[in-house]
Structures are given as structure tokens and as C-alpha cells.
Amino acid sequence: MKKIGILGSTGSIGTQTLEIVRHFRDEIQVVALAAGSNAALLEEQIREFCPRAAALWEETAAHELRERVRDLDVKILCGMDGLLEIAAMEDMEALVTAVVGMIGVRPTLEAISHGKDILLANKETLVTAGHLLMPLAREKGVSILPVDSEHSAVFQSLNGEKKNRIKKILLTASGGPFRGKKQSELEGMKAEDALRHPNWSMGRKITIDSATLVNKGLEVMEAKWLFDVSLSQIQVVVQPQSIVHSMVEYADGSVIAQLGLPDMKLPIQYALFYPDRRPMEMPSLDFYKLSQITFEKPDTETFQGLALAFEAMEAGGSMPTVYNAANEKAVSLFLKHRISFLQIPELIGDCMSRHRVIAHPDLEQILETERWTYETIAGRGI
């Protein structure tokens, strides 16, 4: 029996993870669940999966949850202390990190330091603290298994190959809902337009990130940390049908790719059972019906969020944290209709240009950089 915890169990990745667990109840046991404020859904999940502990970030919601599950033998926790207690739970073997944003940094580091394998969806953590997380994982002998579809595809394409024979990682991108549009057309785009992704159904923040191509920028950094390659070895390729999930080119010119329907349950299940492949109730990819698989170069002039990610990673140190934190803030302002679509990359670029890089930031300095970025944006009166 594999014992897992899920941070972000009420979200898009969290609920899909639980859908898979439902099919493998005699093999996977959920020992802990955590979410932000959704007490009603977390109660349902607790009643169905019977974890020993559950946490909500918001205190009032945690209080409400405690009342709701008074009849059950489950410990209800709250806030960062709650996430950290779950991350360190003794009988948990693996933690699915499916919270959204940098809030995942501390619990993920805590889980690794307690020897838990990480099934990583929460890319923001790797982007901002990859330099702390990856060495710690190596030291503790912990596996970081990618859940993100592109990284799962790369991971699968690396099976049995020698790492020093990788020439290039070809990270595919759908291009998002605004592919093919120019700056002038993007100016008036509203949250409702950006939330209409052509191929994937995901949480709100990552859907906006897909529209700006910031998601791909974060994924470039995620790939660099996960696969220990240089930035020049990562190339982004637009693949509008989202069928080729990513590829690896080797020294001899061979390119190995992973293909599949765009469904996150596939990479989640692969990470849960790695290195095994279990059956999945899903239609086969029908190559007769699939009329075409096309590729394009990304338009980094229009979608500056992607170009800025390469700059942030090249600058290194605390700069990726600025890139990420500015984006998190900007996306939340955009979703509240307080800034325009094009102000998202503009705010990221502005914060980056004002930041003095800390070369090797420790955890405290990363969190301080996050605060500095938020204050810098607030200082502009937005």
C-alpha cells in the first residue's frame, strides 16, 4: 500500500489525483489532504478517503471544517504550520504538491527533508527554490517525479537513455487561446477570454499563464532544474493540438517524443506508479481521425512573458523568484480586472529591471524577495 498526501486536493490536479486513487483503492492510501479554503469539498474528500489529517490555509475555514467532521477521527490543521505538519507525517511516503504558487516552497522542502518522494505539479516551487530543492532531494535520496505533462513527457522520453547524450529538450506548448494574435489585439483581452483554453481544462492561474506564455517560461525553468541541462539546451516548440507533449533530441539526432490525448490524469498516474504503467480508462489516440500534428516557432515578440523567463533564468539567483512573484501578483490583479492583459508581462519586466540579484538566496531571502516584489508592485499604486 502506497501512502500519499495531497497538498491542493480540492483543485484541478488534486481532484484528478483523487479520481485515479478511486480506481486503485487497494494500492494507494491517502493519509493527508490540504487545501486553501474550500471546507465543503474537503469535507467530502475526508469522508470518502478517510485521511488521518487534513489542513486548510484559512483559519475560519479550518474552524468550519473541524465542526463539519466532528464525528470523524481526523486531525484538522491550519495555515503554514498545518502544511508543514502534513509534509512531515511519519507514515506518508509521497507528497503530491498541487497547491498553486510559491506557497508550496516551505512544505515541499520540509517533505524532502523528511525523505518523502515528491510528485511535483507545483512548478512555482521549483522555479523559485530549485537550487535548494534539487540538492536536498539528492542528499536525502528522494525522487522528484514530474506531474506537469511536458516534464512527464521528457521524463518518459529519457527512460533508459544516458543523460550525457541529451542534445536538446524540446518543450512543446499549445500556444494558448491567443496564439497567432498580435500585441494590438491583445490589449483589450479580458480574463474571460484568457480563461478559454483550447485544449486543457486547468485551474484559473495556470490558464492565464498559458495565455501569456508565462506558463511555458516557468516550465523552461522547471525543466532546467528537473533534468539538469543548460538553458541553451531547452527549446520551446508550439504544437497547437497538444498531442506531442514534449521531446528529447539525442547526440545522434534521434528525437524521442511522448504522445497522448491532452488529459492530466495520464501524467499524474504515471508519477503515482512510476516505473510501472497501469491501464487507464481513456480513448486511444486515433491517428486516422487526427488529421494533422503541426509545429511552430513561439512568438516571443508578442508574448514577452516567455522571453523574460529566459532572461530571469540567465540572471539566476533571486531573479526567477521576482519573475514568478511578479507574475503571481499580476495574474491575481488581472483576474480582478484591475490591470490589462498586457500589463502582466509589463509588471514582470518592471520588477525584474528594478531588482538587485542575490546570487545564492537561502529560503529566507527567497521569501524576502517575494515580499519585495509585492511591495514594488504595490508601490506603483495598482
Binding site for Mg ion (CB under 5 A): 148-150
Q: Does 124 bind ligand NDP (CB under 6 A)?
A: yes
Cβ count near 341 (within 10 Å)? 21
Query: With contacts defined by CB under 6 A, how many residues of the chain interact with ligand NDP?
Result: 29
- Among 3, 4, 5, 14, which residue interacts with ligand NDP (rule: CB under 6 A)? 14
C-alpha dihedral sign at 205, 348, 299, 267: negative
Q: Which of residues 256-285 bind ligand NDP (CB under 6 A)?
A: 264
- Cis link prior to 361 (omega < 30° from 0)? no
In the complex, least distance from residue 218 CB atom to Mg ion, rounded to whole angstroms: 9
Q: Does 8 bind ligand NDP (CB under 6 A)?
A: yes
In the complex, least distance from residue 299 CB atom to ligand NDP, rounded to whole angstroms: 22
In the complex, least distance from residue 206 CB atom to ligand NDP, rounded to whole angstroms: 4
Region from 32-40, 168-176, 278-286, 349-357 binding ligand NDP, contact rule CB under 6 A: 32-40
Beta-strand ranges (E) seen in 13-154 are 28-35, 53-56, 75-78, 94-97, 117-120, 144-146
* Residue with grid cell 504544437, as numbered in its chain: 239
CA distance 207 to 240: 15
Residue nearest to ligand NDP (CB): 11
- 123 interface partner picked from Mg ion, ligand NDP, none, CB below 5 to 8 A per type: ligand NDP
- 36 interface partner picked from Mg ion, ligand NDP, none, CB below 5 to 8 A per type: ligand NDP
> Got the DSSP string for 233-283?
GEEEEE-TTS-EEEEEEETTS-EEEEE--S-THHHHHHHHHTT-------P
Phi-psi region of 180 (alpha: psi -120 to 50; beta: other; left: phi over 0): left
Q: Which amino acid is at 252?
A: D
Q: Does 332 bind ligand NDP (CB under 6 A)?
A: no
Region from 8-16, 269-277, 281-289, 295-303 binding ligand NDP, contact rule CB under 6 A: 8-16
Confirm if 94 and 4 have CB atoms less than 8 A apart: yes
- Among 85, 117, 148, 222, which residue interacts with ligand NDP (rule: CB under 6 A)? 148
Q: Which of residues 85-114 bind ligand NDP (CB under 6 A)?
A: 98-100, 103
Confirm if 287 and 224 have CB atoms less than 8 A apart: no
Site for ligand NDP, rule CB under 6 A: 8-14, 34-38, 57, 98-100, 103, 121-124, 148, 200, 202-206, 264
